[in-house]
Amino acid sequence: MSLAHYILGIGDRYTSNTLVDLKSCTAVGIDFGHAFGTATQFLPVPELTPFRMTPLMAGLTVPKVSPSGGIVHATMLKTLEALQENQEALMNILQVFLREPVIDWVEFANRQVHAMRRAGNLDEHLDDTKLSWYPQQKLNCVKRNLNGGNPMLLMKSEELDLNSLVMKDSASLLRIIIGEKGSERWSMQNEISLNTDQQVTCLIDQATDPNILGRSWIGWSPFA
C-alpha cells in the first residue's frame, strides 16, 4: 500500500486515513483527496515523506526497519517490480485523468501557474485557462516514479520549487531531503535514475528520517 501510494503521489496519510481490518490485520488506505504529489506541493506544511512509515507502523511491521533489508524492504521491492512490469496497464488506466480531470485540479493548476508567474518561471505554453497540461504533468510524474527516478530529485524539481510557505531557501529543503552526509540516501543524490533496490532503500530511509518526520504537520502525527 505504501509503495503504491508513493507511485501515485498520494499524501495526507495521517492516522485516520489508514483503516485496519481486525480479522485479517490488512491495512486499507482511504481518502485520496491529495494525490499526484499535491500534499507536498500545496499544503501549508509540505509533506516531505514519500509514504507513512512512522515508528508505530514500523514497529507493527518488523522490529527494526533497515534500508538494507527486512520485511518492509523486501515487500516494497517485489511490489515495485510488479508495478514496473505492468506499468503499461497502469498508465492506460490513469489516462482517464487526461480526459476528465478531478475538480480540485482546476484550482491546483491555477495556483501553480500563478506561483510560477510570481517566480518568473512561467513557461509560455502554460495557460491558466487551459487544464490539459496539468494532468499530463502529473501522469509524467507517475511514469518517472515507476521508471526509477531518484525520489529526492523528483521531489525537488516537481514540487518544492513552488512551495515557499515553510522554507524559502530551496537549498535547505534539498539538504533535508538528501539526508545526513554519509548516509545511503546522501550517496545517491547525484544519481538521476536508480535501480529498484536503490529506489526502495532511498524511500524507506526518507520515510523514517527523524529530521523529515520532525518537520511534518502536527496533525499528521509523525510521532505515532
Is residue 222 situated within a structural domain? Answer: no
Q: Is 14 inside a domain boundary?
A: yes
Please state, in angstroms and rounded to a whole number, the distance separating the CA atoms of residues 100 and 108: 15
Q: pLDDT per residue over 24-33, tens digit each?
A: 888 889 998 8
Residues 91 and 139: their CA atoms lie apart, in Å, by 8
Q: Give domain status of residue 223, yes or no.
A: no
How buried is 164 (Cβ within 10 angstroms: 0-12 exposed, 13-18 middle, 19+ buried)? middle
pLDDT top residue among 57 and 29: 29
Residue 54 lies in a domain: yes
Phi and psi at 80, nearest 5°, equal: -65, -45
Quick one: angle between helices 87-94 and 133-146, nearest 10?
Answer: 160
Which residue from 2, 142, 150 is spatially nearest to 65, judged by alpha carbons?
2
Counting the structural domains of the chain, the total is 1
Give the predicted TM-score (pTM) of the model.
0.82
Please give the residue that has the higher pLDDT: either 109 or 39: 39
Model confidence at 166, pLDDT cuts 50, 70, 90, reads: very low
Burial of 93 (0-12, 13-18, 19+ CB in 10 A): exposed
In angstroms, rounded to a whole number, what is the distance separating the alpha carbons of residues 206 and 178? 8
Q: Cell numbers at residue 177, please? A: 531531503
Residue 185 located in a structural domain: yes
Do 7 and 138 touch, CB atoms closer than 8 A? Answer: no
CATH number at residue 60: 1.10.1070
In a domain, 224, yes or no: no
Q: What is the pLDDT, as a whole number, of residue 165?
A: 41
- Provide the domain limits for residue 85: 2-217
> What percent of the chain lies above the pLDDT cut of 70?
77
